[in-house]
Amino acid sequence: MIVRDEGTTFLVITQPDHARVSADLVAALQTEPALRTASRDTILLATREHDNGWAEVDAEPTVEPTGRPRDFMTGPAAVRQELWTRGVTRVAKMDPHAGALVAQHALTVYAHRQGDPDWKPFFASIFTLRDDLLQQLGLATGPARDAFALEYRCVFLGDALSLQWCNEWPGPEEPLGYQATMEGDALVVSPDPFAGATVPFRVLGRRIPARRYRDDPDLREALAAAAPIVVAGEARGV
């Protein structure tokens, strides 16, 4: 889950809810050629579902040794590896092409772990999942593989932009040749990928006190007591 420190409160957003914002942003992109092809719906499905493996993890949140709620960037390697395998498999059952895109995302976001012995089985498994799907779909080589890379750009970009807004990272962040900064509640992206439009979006979250939580049950009790809220935002280009 995402844990945005707001001073006296933490805004907690689940990974699947962040992924829905990712899909809203990708749907509004006007500068990525893959979105003008027959693969558009597959790209949006992969973007919307890319973090569905986190659902079970976010349903049972845990705390760091410091007492801070554990976010998506920390936690045991085994938990993160298992959730991606589950997520890729789940999406592939909906749409094998989308499953291959999510597998590519798993390989990309954890690429920095490839030299880590504890991650070798993970990479072997996800590479096999992705390559088997690409082979089945006829996308493993040639122009089809080049097109797949352009499709994946959209998934990566949507994830990066949504993460920046949900975490309120000021930036500048520079995903795939764009530059994004936060201006108040707005995510401002250059060069403009939205053809002059302002893109509104909403995400579900919960606010809990920004304090040290004793243990996992203490955190879960606070989250259960917090009413869901809708947080609005927007993205625009310059």
Q: Could you report the per-residue pLDDT of 186-209, keeping only the tens digit for each?
A: 999 999 999 999 999 999 999 999
| DSSP characters over 140-163 | SSHHHHHHHHHHHHHHHHHHHHHH
Q: Please identify which residue in the block is written with the tokens 């390989």.
A: 107
Cβ atoms 45, 95 nearer than 8 A: yes
* 228: β partners: none
pTM over 0.75: yes
Tell me if the bond preceding 96 is cis, omega within 30° of 0.
Answer: no
Which ranges of the chain have pLDDT less than 50? none
> What tokens appear for 132 in the block?
């088997």
| Amino acid 74: pLDDT | 87
Nearest 5°: CA angle at 119, between 113 and 122? 115
Q: What are the residue boundaries of the structural domains of the chain, listed by start?
A: 2-237
| Amino acid 76: pLDDT | 87
| 125 secondary structure, DSSP code | H
Residue 93's alpha-carbon distances to 22, 69, 87, 126, in angstroms, are 21, 32, 10, 15
Type of residue at 29: L
